Amino acid sequence: MVILGLEGPSYGGKTSALGRMRRVSAIRDALFFPCYVKSFARREDVPTPATRSAAEQVEAFVTFMEIEGERVRAARRHGGLVVLDRTVDTLLAHAHAMDEIHGFGILPELCQRVEEMPHLRPDHTLYLDVTPELLHLRRKEARHHEVEPDYFLHDPAFLTHFRDYFCRPVRSPATAELAVASGDGDRQETAAVVQALFTYWAGVR
């Protein structure tokens, strides 16, 4: 089993790129997993990203790791190529950001929990690096700022620390190999970058 992960900030182009990849012959038989939040039937059940305490951050982590456990079981049944829209590193990057912003100090504990819980450790992960200005523009173009003007995942401090987890790591991410590529191009350019690298990784057994 080969596991590939795609990471990046919200509105970074991950989901669009993976949607186009489903038609690529080298990837067509892969088992695709959507972002964790797509597993919730009701929006109000999704844990808040703006946690207010260490306990609330741990509770959110546990909720998402239950979804990760379901991913593990499905991936084992599939047994072939697996493609993840966000991985456990998203959960750890979020915890790192909240540690830096609020001083929760829970990342070491969560890293230990990950090791002890069933999870998919990607063989290769690509992080799409997108400037904050472009992220804000994409969200504005989607008119999502009108219904949710205060979008925590685009808070400048959160974006900085979330990015640092991948681009300036102080501890090794869960993935075995991490690559970083610019996601500042349009959707077609970003999808082409993801497709090229994922097709290459999928062929390296």
Per-position pLDDT tens, the chain of length 205: 999 999 999 999 999 999 988 888 778 789 999 999 999 999 999 999 999 999 999 999 999 999 999 999 999 999 999 999 999 999 999 999 999 999 999 999 999 999 999 999 999 999 999 999 999 999 998 888 777 778 999 999 999 999 999 999 888 999 999 999 999 999 899 999 999 999 999 986 4
- Tell me which DSSP letter residue 121 carries: -
The predicted structure's pLDDT at residue 139? 93
What's the alpha-carbon Rg for the chain, to the nearest Å? Answer: 16
Contact 11, 129 (CB under 8 A): no
C-alpha closest to that of 92 among 166, 149, 32, 27: 166
Amino acid letter for position 62: V
Residues across the chain: 205
pTM: 0.95
Residue 82 φ/ψ region, left for φ over 0, alpha for ψ in the -120 to 50 degree band, beta for the rest: beta
Collapse the DSSP code of 93 into the 3-class scheme (helix H, G, I; strand E, B; otherwise coil) and give the result.
helix
Amino acid identity, residue 86?
R
pLDDT of residue 51: 97
Structure confidence at residue 91 (pLDDT): 98
Predicted local confidence at residue 204, as pLDDT = 60
- Work out the burial of residue 124: count CB atoms within 10 Å of its CB; fewer than 13 is exposed, 13-18 middle, 19 or more buried: buried
The predicted pLDDT at position 152 comes to: 96
